[in-house]
Structure 1
Amino acid sequence: MLLKITFVLFITLFTATGCVNTNQASSGDDIDKDLIVLAHGLGRSDWAMWKLAQRLEQAGYKVCSLDYATIGESVEAVLKDTTKQIDACIINSSKVHFVGHSLGGLVIRAYLQNANHTLKNVAIGNSVLIGTPNKGSELADHFKNSWLITLGGGISKSLVTGVNSLGNNLGELTVKFGVIAGTKSSSLTNDKFNGVNDGLVSVESTKLANMHDFITINVSHSEMRYNENVAYQTIHFLQKGYFKH
């Protein structure tokens, strides 16, 4: 019974989704503002990032919040869709920063790795990866043989650890970036991890060798999108290139 409850939690947290598009055309007053490309996680939509987008806008940035399908999609389809959206976002922008939650961080890594031609006339600012399974998720490993994970498509399968992990198959970022990891675990999933985790992703999995700064916050995976301290640290890194420790 507990295993079934845990699996339902995994599916709910990784795939619960909204369907409201919060992207808006930039007004004339936004022309001189730095742009932030904001990427959501698996099974979510741009609506899921509304609170973080609002806080970024209040800090003086333009925000382009991506809205892309993930469930049932292949890795290639997701990256093709998000590349097209990001290319459209950054047109006429002089400086661009990137922020991604969970899978959104992998989307950003993939884009920055492959879009040098698009970015050659744009100044690249700082990037923040929030709760991103850069080395995969042990929880995804636990359910990797489930038919529901198979139904989730290639992008869902790519969240495992090891050689088949999307994160492990991406190159190193060459931009300045920081990583935020959550430490508030769930009693339903904690036994699936070997160390500190946010309920879906371990702290260790979020780390990358060439990250410029790293910080942990006592927040769960899904709460990161709404957490005030996560937003504060994200803005601090975007502005200064380091977190406030």
Structure 2
Amino acid sequence: MARISLRNSVFLKIFPVLQLSVISSYFLIIAIPQVTGTESFTTDNTEKHWVSKIFDDFTAATDALQWSDVRVVSNWRIQQHVQSEAYRLLDSDDHVVIEGTLKSCSAKFSGLMKEGCISPVEKEVVIVLHGLGEGRSAMKPLVVFLKENMTASILTFGYASPRAPLASHAHALGRVLAGLPPTTAISFVGHSMGNLVVRRWLRDAQPDVVNRIDRMVMLGPPNQGSDLARLAASNHLLRNLASGAARELVLHWDNISRELQTPPFRYGIIAGGKGDNKGYSSLLEGDDDAIVRVSETQLQGSDDFLVIPVRHSRMMENTDVQKETLSFLLQGQFAKKHFHTSPPEK
């Protein structure tokens, strides 16, 4: 009886999050059975129980999907709420410094920079973009690795992926780029839909900014759309739940694909897959990373392409993905041309 009550309680708490994204809902539904185990729920006075941590993570994820960055320097950021003209300034630890108008947040931001509280960016910047239904924290393992191995400033770009269309996310990215010094060289690392945000930004980007882009690494990009999204479109419930960029991916790929530009700078693609004709998902034909098929990641004109045995959601923490991302950012090519896929990641 206690298990049933707990299951219902968890469902009520996470249902608003389920509505935010079709893709993220899959992972949340999978997570529910983990709360029905036999572990005691006695609280620990010195450490949060893992159930409390799950709820905290859901709260943080919900908050991340409500705000988009419009200025980022040394991972201090000004964000705009996706459904209003409300702005806020966050420090590098994501604590709210001030809430208000863009003018008030910008004034505070400028003052902190003059005081030396916000360090200026380096001459080279790498902007890391998360995927659909995720927040900036999803990219943390990769971000930490790049910071430890590069002299460039590693900045994360957060956007309210399922709450606004792709064009809005591209516009927000443009605002962040406009806030960087005009002499800064820029590279991108995108996961999943983050790559589509960059490609959509290119449609309206100013040539002088595009000329400053050095390289880009695409991780699991749905460059040719997503069969999984098309499967979701056939389900009435999932189709109605989808909103913003998720809805575009599910229902309007033919329209948004025409607005996506091929990068005019060097870019490499890392796809997840087993290296066979089965992949990680029984729902998808051919090799895949459980979310995106290998063939869907491909884009004509890429400077390098690599398949690594890793699932879509685990790319950022995979050491091979991290090393190859670093290799392309530094050298313009991947270190390896082939990965052995036996035994594959389970």
Q: Same fold (TM over 0.5)?
A: yes
Matched, 1:79 2:131: no
The alpha-carbon deviation at position 130 of structure 1 amounts to: 0.4
The alpha-carbon deviation at position 63 of structure 1 amounts to: 1.2
The alpha-carbon deviation at position 48 of structure 1 amounts to: 1.1
Deviations 1:164-217 (A, max 9, x none): 2634541221110000000159x9972321210000000000000100100010
Partner of 1:128 in structure 2? 217
Higher relative contact order, chain-length normalized (CA < 8 Å, sep 6+): 1
Gaps of 5+ in 1: 1-7
The 2-side partners of 1:161 and 1:74 are apart by 12
- Within the candidate set 172, 195, 217, 1:105 is matched to 195
Change (3 A) 1:84 1:23: same
Matched, 1:11 2:100: no
Aligned residue-pair number: 234
Percent identity reads 27
Give the secondary structure class of the aligned counterpart of 1:82.
helix
Partner of 2:286 in structure 1? 195
- Within the candidate set 27, 35, 48, 2:119 is matched to 27
Gaps of 5+ in 2: 1-21, 30-57, 77-91, 93-117, 337-346
The 2-side partners of 1:168 and 1:234 are apart by 28
With normalisation by structure 2, the TM-score equals: 0.60
Deviations 1:142-173 (A, max 9, x none): 01143334332141133249952634541221
- The amino acid that maps onto 2:284 is F
Give the secondary structure class of the aligned counterpart of 2:225.
coil
Partner of 1:5 in structure 2? none
The 1-side partners of 2:309 and 2:232 are apart by 25
Give the secondary structure class of the aligned counterpart of 2:187.
strand
CA contact (8 A) 2:167 2:201 kept: no
- The amino acid that maps onto 1:211 is S
Q: CA RMSD in A?
A: 3.2
CA contact (8 A) 2:161 2:244 kept: no
With normalisation by structure 1, the TM-score equals: 0.82
- Within the candidate set 100, 111, 131, 1:41 is matched to 131
The alpha-carbon deviation at position 117 of structure 1 amounts to: 4.3
- Within the candidate set 301, 310, 314, 1:223 is matched to 314
Residues 157-176 of structure 1: pairs in structure 2 closer than 5 A: 157-160=247-250, 164=254, 166-167=256-257, 169-176=259-266
CA contact (8 A) 1:130 1:180 kept: yes
